[in-house]
């Protein structure tokens, strides 16, 4: 076996790391396979496949944290985002109107346009779902599908 000289370590800047993680999140969201992600990122950013694995782990961890944030926190983030759209001088009137509609919906002021979720459906948190047995999960899935099919006329 021949020993190759060790490569000099090159540190990736924080901005570049964040760019890589954002790109990996998009690829995961599109349903790309891990091998596809490794190949694409390693080729694009001249990284080893092992380094890309660390970025994938980081991206998954960040995605999990985003999903597990409380409902109230998520609503607050959404509210402030829509406020920033309304306050932006670059926003068009259409953008401002849509942001206002979304805020009304968040605050429950638009009750006629959006049917309220069933109480049992609101209680389905990621933690509750994780603790379900396979049978409970399948029966809940079937119940959601049934209710969605029944309410199709209400939405359209």
Contacts of 111 (CB under 8 A, 6+ apart): none
Q: For residue 110, give every residue at least 6 positions away whose Cβ sits within 8 Å of its Cβ, in sequence order, or none.
A: 101, 104
Whether 32 maps to a domain, the answer reads yes
Q: Is residue 80 located within the same domain as residue 43?
A: no
pLDDT at 9 over 80: no
- The predicted pLDDT at position 153 comes to 54
Q: What is the rounded average pLDDT of the residues 49-66? A: 90
- Does 4 map to a domain? no
Note whether 19 and 52 are same-domain residues: yes
Arithmetic mean of pLDDT over the chain: 83
Let me know whether 74 and 85 are in one domain: yes
Do 96 and 142 reside in the same domain of the chain? no
- Is the per-residue pLDDT at 132 higher than 90? no
Confidence of residue 93 (pLDDT cuts 50, 70, 90): very high
* Region for residue 71 given its phi and psi (left: phi exceeds 0; alpha: psi -120 to 50; beta: otherwise): alpha
């Amino acid at each position: 076996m021949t020993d190759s000289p060790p490569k000099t370590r090159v540190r990736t800047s924080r901005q570049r790391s964040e760019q890589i993680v954002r790109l990996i999140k998009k690829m995961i969201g599109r349903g790309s396979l891990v091998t596809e992600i490794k190949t694409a990122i390693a080729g694009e950013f001249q990284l080893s496949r092992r380094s890309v694995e660390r970025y994938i782990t980081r991206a998954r961890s960040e995605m999990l944290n985003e999903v597990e944030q409380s409902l109230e926190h998520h609503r607050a983030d959404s509210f402030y985002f829509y406020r920033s759209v309304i306050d932006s001088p670059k926003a068009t009137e259409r953008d401002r109107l849509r942001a206002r509609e979304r805020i009304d919906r968040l605050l429950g002021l638009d009750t006629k346009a959006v049917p309220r979720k069933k109480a049992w459906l609101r209680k389905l948190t990621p933690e509750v779902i994780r603790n379900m047995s396979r049978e409970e999960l399948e029966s809940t899935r079937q119940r959601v599908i049934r209710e969605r099919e029944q309410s199709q006329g209400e939405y359209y």
